[in-house]
């Protein structure tokens, strides 16, 4: 492709509204343009890179035996009502009506749509297992679209759904996808960390997310260097440290604390560490009040709490309920109480010595609170977020933490959709059996941004060859008629060899051309400049190396081939 005929609006300056590096570089390198908040246009160069990623994903999915579909983006509300998600999806789902008033969703995901079509395509054990997928647009009305294409309202996802006869079959399908994902990301040049994830609203059990470690990641990962335990913050467990400080136990005493309510207020007031505080929060779980107690330095993980409480719905209690169950306004609750309320204690509570907590009276706290003496721990569970330094739930070693971008997600849906949508097939014995499902997603655009986050330097993007929009950036420096003719001939030669070449045949200064080449980051730069016209030497440089190879035209193809194989 000749640059003189291309559309490549590179920018010298960073766009003012781009806060993360990949977003800045993708705009500056002329890959994408913002259409409006959370919506992006892929310009020709960006679309080429995206298509490379799609090609890798498609190739690996096909190799894994998955079958590609193309599903409508409009999904009928009937399907969503069958699964119960028409209401559950909430405002993240775009909903529209046709001229006859029939309601649709612009698909945020396709579990219902695929379950709906597979219901009619499979009827016996002979039709299973099947893994069906598509590479298609998803629409999500994200509360906060941000970071460019990392979180947008419209994006391309590869989504796959496996259907098996039994759990053993699902386990096999899941493992095949797990391996396929590793291979896909590896081929894209991405280092990913698979972590255990919560199954959340989707239902189901095993779930893993593929994370790309990055400072701009919105996810927090907890990692154990000793045993290899890896989980995201929603899911990560931790072990109780079974050591107590040797402090002498004080007596329980009331302290007047006018208007001192928050953890920050209390830390200042008592001049103590937050871990001495017993934060006590009232929730309503399946309609009944529950008090959750954790140390003040920890956050309550509501998913863990709901699970520990065995509740399918959980929310913070309104003020009136707090007053009713504690007898005090919000901010003064605590576990030292005679009231009959269910209390769930986090693992962090048991070894607190001389703690501080609300006295269930307005403007009063207790100090010298000691578990076992002042209240007994009847229900203990891990209900807080694991933090860096916490003991690994498997081996007890201290865990580290990292931020990550989630690029892919695999999980076992089990029977959530096949049951609610009445899918059955006949077994070998002629009995109706409900198939079991798995679901597997990869965000294509987010993967592209993650690649740019991982592969860049101060001059611009450094594409891995597998996903680079072109392989070779041919730069012509000469302007004379003969120089143009000779460089054109080299361009033709490279094309004939099958290389993907972007040919900078524009009339511009060498500095300008090199800056653009570095910014867009194609793996190999071939320069036809004064050396060529003086002594027949072509200059070849890998984007990721500083070394410049000088070689005669005859050796050019071999050198490019060799350098590309390590790019
Ligand atoms: P997140 O927690 O980041 O919102 P999710 O859990 O909602 O992601 P899934 O429903 O599992 O995501 O979707 C599969 C993949 O689609 C994700 O791993 C991610 O790569 C991609 N993805 C999800 N939401 C977006 C978005 N708004 N913009 C771009 N890619 C997205
Ligand atoms: Mg989401």
Tens digits of residue pLDDT in 173-219:
999 999 999 999 999 999 999 999 987 654 456 899 999 999 999 99
Residue ranges of domains in the chain: 3-236+402-451, 253-381, 470-564
- Which residue puts its alpha carbon closest to atom 24 of ligand 1? 151
Burial of 215 (0-12, 13-18, 19+ CB in 10 A): exposed
Mutational test site, ligand 1, from 141, 217, 446, 447, max ligand atoms within 8 Å of CB: 446
The rounded Å distance from CA 406 to ligand 2 centre is 10
For 415-446, write each residue's pLDDT tens digit: 999 999 999 999 999 999 999 999 999 999 99
Which pTM was predicted?
0.92
- Taking the chain (567 residues) in runs of 10, the rounded mean pLDDT of each run is 97 92 98 96 98 98 98 97 95 97 98 98 98 98 96 98 98 97 98 87 73 94 95 93 89 94 93 96 96 97 94 94 94 94 97 96 96 96 96 96 97 96 97 98 98 98 98 96 95 98 97 98 97 93 97 96 94
The rounded Å distance from CA 176 to ligand 1 centre is 21
What pLDDT was estimated at residue 200? Answer: 62
- Which residue puts its alpha carbon closest to atom 2 of ligand 1? 406
Fold classification of 253-381 is YbaK protein (3.90.960)
What pLDDT was estimated at residue 432? Answer: 98
What pLDDT was estimated at residue 243? Answer: 84
The rounded Å distance from CA 365 to ligand 1 centre is 44
Distance separating alpha carbons of residues 296 and 275, to the nearest angstrom = 5
Residue for token digits 């990949």? 22
Rounded to 5, what percent of the chain is helix, strand, coil? 30, 30, 40
What pLDDT was estimated at residue 241? Answer: 85
Kindly give the number of the ligand 1 atom that is closest to the alpha carbon of 447. Answer: 20
Residue ranges lining ligand 1, Cβ < 6 Å? 109, 140, 142, 151-152, 155, 157, 406-409, 441, 443, 445-446
The rounded Å distance from CA 418 to ligand 2 centre is 23
The rounded Å distance from CA 443 to ligand 1 centre is 6
Please give the C-alpha separations between residue 471 and each of 47, 316, 537, 547, in angstroms, as whole numbers: 15, 55, 21, 18
Taking the CA of 441 as reference, the closest ligand is 1
- Which residue puts its alpha carbon closest to atom 11 of ligand 1? 409
Q: Is 470-564 CATH 3.30.1330.10?
A: no
Distance separating alpha carbons of residues 347 and 242, to the nearest angstrom = 10
Taking the CA of 140 as reference, the closest ligand is 1
What pLDDT was estimated at residue 198? Answer: 81
| Angle 75-81-85 from CA coordinates, rounded to 5° | 85
Q: Do the domains 3-236+402-451 and 470-564 sit in the same CATH topology, yes or no?
A: no
Mutational test site, ligand 1, from 38, 107, 147, 157, max ligand atoms within 8 Å of CB: 157
Q: Is 3-236+402-451 CATH 3.30.930.10?
A: yes
The rounded Å distance from CA 416 to ligand 1 centre is 20
Task: State both tokens at 257.
Answer: 């604390």
Distance separating alpha carbons of residues 300 and 222, to the nearest angstrom = 16
- Which residue puts its alpha carbon closest to atom 13 of ligand 1? 441
Check whether the bond before 129 is cis (ω within 30° of 0).
Answer: yes
């Amino acid at each position: 492709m000749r640059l003189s005929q291309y559309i490549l609006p590179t920018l010298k300056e960073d766009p003012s509204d781009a806060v993360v590096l990949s977003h800045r570089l993708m705009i500056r390198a002329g890959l994408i343009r913002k259409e409006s908040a959370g919506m992006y246009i892929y310009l020709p160069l960006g679309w080429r890179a995206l298509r490379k990623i799609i090609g890798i994903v498609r190739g690996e999915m096909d190799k894994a035996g998955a079958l590609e579909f193309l599903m409508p983006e409009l999904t009928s509300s009937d399907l969503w009502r069958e699964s119960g998600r028409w209401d559950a999806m909430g405002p993240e789902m775009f909903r529209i009506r046709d001229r006859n008033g029939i309601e649709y969703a612009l698909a945020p995901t396709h579990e219902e749509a695929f379950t709906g079509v597979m219901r009619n395509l499979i009827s016996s054990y002979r039709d299973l297992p099947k893994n069906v997928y598509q590479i298609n647009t998803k629409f999500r009305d994200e509360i906060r679209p941000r970071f460019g294409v990392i979180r947008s309202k419209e994006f391309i996802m590869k989504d796959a759904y496996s259907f098996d006869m039994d759990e053993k079959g699902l386990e096999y399908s899941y493992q095949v996808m797990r391996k396929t994902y590793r291979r896909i990301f590896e081929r894209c040049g991405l280092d990913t960390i698979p972590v255990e994830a919560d199954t959340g609203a989707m239902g189901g059990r095993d779930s893993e997310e593929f994370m790309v470690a990055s400072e701009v990641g919105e996810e927090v990962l907890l990692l154990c260097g000793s045993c290899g335990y890896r989980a995201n913050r929603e899911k990560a467990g931790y072990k109780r440290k079974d050591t107590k400080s040797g402090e002498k136990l004080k007596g329980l005493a009331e302290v007047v604390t006018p208007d001192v309510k928050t953890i920050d207020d209390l830390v200042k007031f008592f001049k103590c560490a937050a871990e001495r505080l017993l934060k006590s929060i009232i929730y309503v779980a399946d309609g009944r009040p529950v008090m959750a107690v954790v140390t003040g330095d920890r956050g309550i993980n509501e998913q863990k709490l709901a699970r520990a409480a065995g509740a399918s719905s959980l929310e913070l209690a309104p003020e009136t309920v707090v007053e009713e169950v504690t007898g005090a306004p919000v901010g003064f609750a605590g576990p030292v109480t005679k009231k009959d309320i269910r209390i769930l204690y986090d693992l962090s509570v048991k070894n607190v010595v001389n703690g501080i907590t609300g006295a269930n009276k307005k403007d009063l706290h207790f100090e010298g609170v000691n578990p076992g003496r002042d209240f007994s721990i009847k229900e203990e569970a891990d209900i807080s977020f694991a933090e860096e330094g916490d003991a690994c739930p498997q081996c007890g070693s201290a865990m580290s933490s990292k931020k990550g971008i989630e690029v892919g997600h695999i999980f076992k849906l089990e029977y959530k959709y096949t049951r609610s949508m009445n899918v059955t097939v006949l077994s070998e014995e002629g009995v109706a059996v409900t198939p079991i499902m798995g679901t597997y997603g990869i965000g294509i655009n987010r993967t592209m941004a993650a690649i740019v986050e991982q592969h860049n330097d101060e001059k611009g993007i450094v594409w891995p060859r597998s996903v680079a929009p072109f392989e070779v950036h041919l730069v012509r420096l000469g302007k004379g008629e003969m120089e143009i003719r000779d460089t054109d001939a080299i361009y033709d030669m490279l094309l004939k060899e099958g290389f993907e070449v972007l040919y900078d045949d524009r009339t511009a200064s060498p500095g300008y051309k090199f800056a653009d080449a570095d910014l867009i980051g194609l793996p190999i730069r071939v320069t036809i400049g004064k050396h060529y016209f003086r002594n027949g030497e072509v200059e070849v440089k890998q984007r990721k190396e500083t070394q410049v190879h000088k070689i005669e035209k005859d050796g050019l193809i071999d050198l490019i081939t060799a350098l590309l194989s390590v790019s």
